[in-house]
Structure 1
């Protein structure tokens, strides 16, 4: 059994990685905070930063830091609100001991903290928009609306199997367009750069969508019992696992096509840094998709693929012109 499978198996059985008989609260809180997940929040603005550097433009560091912090706060809102809404439906009651609501027993307090993160995040984004373009705030508000529609009543679109396309839309064209506008030098853009946002954001957003897709595999029975018709519930774990190679290939295809036609530098191929994690994920789900205790790690392998892929692409875009000038 590989190391990710061992860790996943121990977690599922209530045994921490160190081998003691039950997970302590510190370990559960670490799982609840989900700090690795914040790579999905910061990736659009890191990609935008790499894109602008590749265009020979200086970074607006105040805008970059403001957008980064705002994005982290907004994802904290989404994660905490998701725990609150899932507590209302009961889907997390038994299968998710690291839910913040389960850990604290205070749904009301978690809801207040979530709403506070939302207000603070939007305030930061509003400041970034004030210093760049009002459309930044409009686009981020659209992302937040999608995030609420995914998990919140009365829509709960994630329970209808629509979470993945919504995830791609929010973390792809919308967030990437907002980030490009926020970091744009004065006068560099007229209107929302939809073309650049779709080209730049489509591949990384597909990798982010893969993280959400893989989060369903180990909880199929719980989701089905509470009416959450995720794509994995609808398809079954076998057919869903067969889609994972297409997620990985699609991510790379979106990113490598502009290289092949000469629009991006060869260094953009650094996005392939995530491929080993993607390959490991494909193998894990192909062999063990029916065994929940062995695939808890699948979401984190998907997250590693997403993070390394996005960082590699951002770096490749940023350094491409500089390396070409040295030839």
Structure 2
């Protein structure tokens, strides 16, 4: 019985360390960019789409693993049982695996560029990776200065969505840019929510996250603004003609957003109760992105 409980506990720690739900952060920008391309061209290159999707997942794996390594170096994860470095006790191994994930992911992007005879997508993804590195990687560690949400918005919003769109069309689109803003905000909300339960550890490590700067109560109020903006901007872009009417399906994810905001509002200063808020935010990001994509796919062009 005791052995079984220990195994279950270890399994939960490994699942938390691997973060399966977080890989939707890689999937949604590719879906949205490709959906906009389909709405405008009525065509999708399946090989490019699937290759891009797998590459994005591998790049997120690199980001997650390398961030655990960089956080281990600053000591901010000393109380984080589900850190990959803490679970394995082997920082060089996790760092090597992270670099392997990155290399294979980049190979997929290189393949797309080769098929297209165009280096634009490589340039965009290289820049995304460079910005992703600056979030936690030395000597930058911009996440410790409270800039993580901005980096997250740019990389997983305008840059990633544009790269997915360009991989299908080899062109640019104002409609795609509008969609990328919505995706970028929804993605940044996930990172924003991840800070509420670790204020003490962040302060001890010198990390000036937005929640450290704002305080948990004001942070919970700002969360309402960010969340409402996802739906307000969708409605605005429909009115302006950048989004088809079908994208209003995104409002079906509003209950998840309200659940997130209310949960954080109630428990913003209770680390044990608010720690799951980032996973509710992942749900909001996934469903809003999926429904937004569906709206573009269903449009008649």
TM-score range, shorter chain: over 0.9
User: Residue 295 of structure 1 is aligned with which of 249, 274, 284?
Assistant: 274
Counterpart CA distance in 2 for 1:150 and 1:77 is 13
Q: Which residue of 1 aligns with 2:18?
A: 33
Is the 8 Å Cα contact of residues 203 and 253 (structure 1) preserved in structure 2?
A: no
Q: 1:281 to 1:154 in 2, by over 3 A?
A: same
For 2:51 and 2:153, locate their aligned partners in 1 and report how far apart those are by CA, in whole Å.
23
Aligned to 1:126: 110
Q: TM-score, normalised by structure 2?
A: 0.95
Counterparts of 2:48 and 2:134, CA distance in 1: 28
The separation in 2 between residues aligned to 1:56 and 1:195, in whole angstroms, is 14
**Alignment match, 2:216:** 237
In structure 2, which of residues 123, 126, 146 is the aligned counterpart of residue 141 of structure 1?
Answer: 126
Q: Summarize deviations over 1:244-290 as a string: whole Å, max 9, x none.
A: 11111111222221211233221101112321111001111111111
CA contact (8 A) 1:172 1:205 kept: yes
Partner of 1:317: 296
Contact residue 52 and residue 318 of structure 1 kept, 8 A: no
The count of aligned residue pairs is 297
1:173-231 deviations in Å (ceiling 9; x for gaps): 111111111112xxx63xxx263442120011100000000000000000110111100
Asked if structure 1 preserves the Cα contact closer than 8 Å seen for 2:33 and 2:163, the reply is no
2-structure distance, mates of 1:21, 1:105: 18
Q: How big is each residue's C-alpha offset from its partner over 1:20-77, in whole Å with a ceiling of 9 and x where there is no partner? A: 6996111111111111101111111100221122224221000000000000000000
Contact 1:172 1:197 in 2 (8 A): no
Residue 182 of structure 1 corresponds to which residue in structure 2? 167
Contact 1:160 1:228 in 2 (8 A): yes
Task: Give the whole-Å Cα distance in 2 for the aligned partners of 1:223 and 1:288.
Answer: 18
Worse overlay, 312-321 or 54-63: 54-63
User: TM-score scaled to structure 1, two decimals?
Assistant: 0.88
Is 1:155 aligned with 2:134? Answer: no
Structure 2 unmatched ranges of 5 or more:
none
Q: Does 1:166 align with 2:151?
A: yes
Separation of aligned partners in 2, 1:131 and 1:213: 37
Equivalent pair of 2:246/2:296 in contact (CA under 8 Å): yes
In structure 2, the CA distance between the partners of 1:262 and 1:312, relative to structure 1 (3 Å rule), is: same
How far apart are the structure 2 equivalents of 1:41 and 1:256? 25
Structure showing the higher helix proportion among its residues = 2
